Amino acid sequence: MTQQPIDFYFWPTPNGHKIRIMLEECGLPYRVKPVDITKGDQFKPEFLKISPNNKMPAIVDPDGPGGEPISIFESGAILQYLGRKTQKLYPRTERARVEVEEWLFWQVGGLGPMAGQAHHFRIYATEKVPYAIARYTEETTRLYGVLEKRLKGRTFIAEAYSIADIAAYPWVRSWERQGQALDGFPNIKAWLAQVSAREAVQRGMSTALE
Ligand SMILES: N[C@@H](CCC(=O)N[C@@H](CS)C(=O)NCC(=O)O)C(=O)O
């Protein structure tokens, strides 16, 4: 049976791009449903039924478990679901899976929120708050240091290219907006080049809303 398209609730931000990259990597058909977070679409009652935390990305897979539709919010949960569904980029052996999950949760609980706050206070905040700028820029630098160390002697974050790389990539790619410099992070530079070279990643970074 051919797979029906997944409804993909998207706005072009790093969290949105994680899922677009995964859909492209897995070759899954999808239909973009724009959620314009600059205009408040995330608060619409129809969207809140899918994503009660009023954030994109979210998906509705018409062909979910048992052949019934399923809706999923939170980018980490979506990446895991798509990895299990397709058996791609999410290893099945316990040791390898735990390793991917450690770095996936490191991204969704650490790098994403901290880099997001750095973006916010450096670029969008209507008030310039030096303490907040310094706090989030420095914490992001610390997290980049952790990633740099992890990538020493490795091509990818876990054993092989996985959802852990997909989660981190759109954030690290925006390093300049977070007040970071990559001069002291040669392993991150090499990793960014490896991941950027993938065609599915290039397609997944598309900002197209249809
Ligand atoms: N933990 C969430 C974060 C998603 C998130 O922060 N989405 C932002 C855009 S990058 C959003 O939709 N913001 C709208 C709002 O907060 O009102 C995930 O990983 O999916």
Mean pLDDT per 10-residue interval, the chain, length 210 residues: 89 98 98 98 98 98 97 98 98 98 98 96 95 98 98 98 98 96 97 98 96
Cβ(107) – ligand 1 distance below 6 Å: no
Decide: 33 in ligand 1 pocket, CB within 6 A.
no
Q: What is the pLDDT of residue 210?
A: 86
Verify whether ligand 1 is closer than 6 Å to residue 119 (CB atom): no
Distance 15 CA to ligand 1 centre (A): 7
Read off the tokens for 21: 């990259």
Residue 159 neighbours by CB distance under 10 Å:
14
- Residue 196, amino acid: S
- 21, 202 contact by CB (below 8 A): no
Residues 150-196 pLDDT 10s:
999 999 999 999 999 999 999 999 999 999 999 999 999 999 999 99
In this prediction, residue 209 carries a pLDDT of 96
pLDDT value for 206: 97
Is residue 10 within a helix (H) or strand (E), and if so which, with residue range? strand 6-10
In this prediction, residue 1 carries a pLDDT of: 58
- The span from the CA of 171 to the CA of 180, in Å, is 12
**Which residue's alpha carbon is at the smallest distance from atom 14 of ligand 1?**
55
